[in-house]
């Protein structure tokens, strides 16, 4: 535990978050957009764990929040992939711009 502190982890997670944001805005394929969302959620998890480690070392709240975020991310990925597969059956495409079936 030398000179690496909380700031290093926060900068890594900030970079990861904005890489995810960049991917979410540029990609048009739904699966790759889902992968960008996973990157964003992981950046959030790194923040929780780093705050727990460096600011509140004798508590466990960051661990629990990380566990719940991982569980919710898994549920979200499963539902998103079910929707993507159903969309592919109807449209033969998973491009985000082809998904206009809910338009009136």
Residues numbered 32-61 forming contacts with other proteins, rule: CB under 8 A? 32, 34-36, 38-39, 42, 45-46, 49-50, 53-58, 60-61
95 binds other proteins (CB under 8 A): yes
Nearest-angstrom CA–CA distance, 80 and 19: 21
3-state class (DSSP) for residue 29: strand
Cβ–Cβ under 8 Å, residues 65 and 73? no
Least CB distance to other proteins at residue 2 (A) = 5
Binders of other proteins among residues 9 to 28 (CB under 8 A) are 9-12, 14-23, 25-28
Shortest distance in whole angstroms from residue 100 CB to other proteins: 17
Rounded to whole angstroms, what are the CA distances from 55 to 19, 44, 46? Answer: 26, 16, 14
Which residues, numbered 56-85, are part of the site for other proteins (CB under 8 A)? Answer: 56-58, 60-61, 63-64, 66-68, 70-79, 81-85
DSSP 100: -
């Amino acid at each position: 535990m030398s000179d690496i502190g909380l700031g290093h982890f926060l900068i890594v997670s900030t970079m990861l978050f904005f890489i995810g944001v960049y991917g979410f805005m540029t990609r048009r394929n739904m699966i790759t957009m889902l992968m960008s969302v996973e990157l964003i959620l992981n950046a959030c998890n790194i923040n929780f764990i780093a705050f727990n480690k460096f600011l509140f070392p004798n508590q466990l709240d960051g661990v629990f929040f990380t566990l719940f975020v991982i569980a919710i991310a898994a549920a979200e990925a499963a539902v998103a992939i079910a929707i993507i597969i159903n969309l592919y059956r109807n449209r033969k495409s998973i491009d985000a711009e082809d998904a206009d079936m809910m338009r009136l």
